[in-house]
């Protein structure tokens, strides 16, 4: 049986802030030192001036390992660091992204079940805005990331389709107006629930998630390499497991659902 991973997704919030040279608040979990060290190694400083977060939904650590030879090696050979990560309980989307971008455990930020209320606590977005920086969320309508961080002085690009989201993220990179861009992708989660975590539609979604990350990396290299130091993350929210031998779900306090994996490139 798999062990629980150690580095918690709550640590992502202060990692993003530290990279962008903005102080986290005292309640936020400590940054992931391995990520800051990897940035230091690449840039000579552990700071950068652009962060792009690609948030594919529900990619479990066991899925990463199972499909490493098929798809994930390609991601792994194109990033600077990959870290096994621990999600928060219950491992469902609004709870997890609430934690990832607030640096808080669910009992502290307040979303403790599958509900999508507006988060009132201090988040990465609030800290950046207070520091005079610009943030944008690009996501599909009705999804957690599109709802729980609303009503802040930042820009929200909410669309019906993944295709529109990806096109908008590419456009924002070309326009170069944001310090932080968050791009959400629900596809793996969608197909994992409706087919199985290892079924063909889910595998296709996983393959596309890797391809989309690599496209983002290529675009950032072309557009920003001479102008900026950029951190590009592949950062799922939680894992998943199979139920009734076929369909997929998540939400239990077991490594299958609690363990995920994050990768970072420094460009």
Identify which of 183, 158, 169, 181 has the alpha carbon closest to the alpha carbon of residue 219: 169
> Binding segment for Zn ion among 41-49, 148-156, 202-210, 230-238 (CB under 5 A)?
230-238
Compare residues 57 and 212 and give the one whose CB is closer to Zn ion.
57
What is the distance between the alpha carbons of residues 168 and 30, in angstroms, rounded to a whole number?
32
> Binding segment for Zn ion among 88-96, 126-134, 149-157, 196-204 (CB under 5 A)?
88-96
- Asked if 101 contacts 14 with a C-beta cutoff of 8 angstroms, the reply is no
What is the distance between the alpha carbons of residues 47 and 37, in angstroms, rounded to a whole number?
10
> Residues 188-217 vs Zn ion: string with x where CB under 5 A?
------------------------------
Among 8, 57, 94, 185, binds Zn ion (CB under 5 A): 57
- Examine residue 237 and tell whether it contacts Zn ion (CB under 5 A): yes
> Residues 90-129 vs Zn ion: string with x where CB under 5 A?
---x------------------------------------
Distance of CA 33 to the CA centre of its chain: 17
Kindly give, in sequence order, each residue whose CB lies less than 8 Å from that of residue 228, ignoring residues fewer than 6 positions away: 48, 49, 50, 176
Helices (H), the chain: 11-19, 33-43, 61-66, 73-76, 93-102, 106-109, 124-130, 144-147, 162-175, 187-194, 200-224, 255-258
Min. distance of Cβ 229 from Zn ion in angstroms?
Answer: 30
Min. distance of Cβ 220 from Zn ion in angstroms?
Answer: 25
Min. distance of Cβ 55 from Zn ion in angstroms?
Answer: 9
> Binding segment for Zn ion among 12-20, 47-55, 77-85, 231-239 (CB under 5 A)?
231-239
Q: List contacts with Zn ion (CB under 5 A).
A: 57-58, 93, 237
């Amino acid at each position: 049986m798999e062990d629980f991973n150690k580095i918690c997704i709550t640590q992502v919030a202060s990692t993003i802030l530290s990279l962008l040279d903005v102080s986290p608040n005292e309640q936020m979990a400590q940054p992931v030192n391995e990520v800051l060290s990897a940035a230091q190694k690449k840039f000579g400083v552990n700071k950068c001036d652009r962060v792009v977060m690609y948030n594919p939904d529900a990619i479990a650590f066991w899925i990463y390992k199972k499909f490493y030879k098929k798809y994930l090696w390609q991601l792994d050979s194109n990033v600077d660091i990959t870290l096994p990560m621990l999600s928060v309980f219950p491992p469902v989307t609004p709870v997890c992204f609430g934690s990832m971008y607030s640096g808080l455990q669910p009992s502290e930020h307040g979303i403790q079940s599958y509900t999508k209320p507006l988060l009132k606590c201090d988040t990465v977005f609030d800290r950046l805005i207070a520091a005079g920086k610009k943030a944008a969320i690009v996501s599909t309508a009705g999804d957690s990331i599109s709802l729980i961080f609303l009503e802040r002085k930042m820009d929200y690009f909410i669309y019906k389709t993944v295709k529109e989201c990806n096109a908008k993220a590419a456009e924002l990179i070309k326009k170069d107006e944001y310090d932080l861009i968050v791009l959400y992708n629900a596809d793996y989660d969608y197909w994992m629930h409706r087919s199985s975590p290892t079924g063909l539609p889910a595998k296709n979604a996983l393959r596309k998630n890797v391809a989309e990350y690599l496209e983002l990396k290529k675009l950032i290299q072309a557009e920003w390499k001479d102008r900026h130091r950029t951190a590009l993350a592949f950062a799922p929210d939680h894992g998943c497991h199979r139920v009734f031998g076929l369909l997929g779900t998540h939400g239990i306090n077991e490594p299958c659902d609690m363990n995920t994996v994050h990768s970072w490139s420094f460009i």
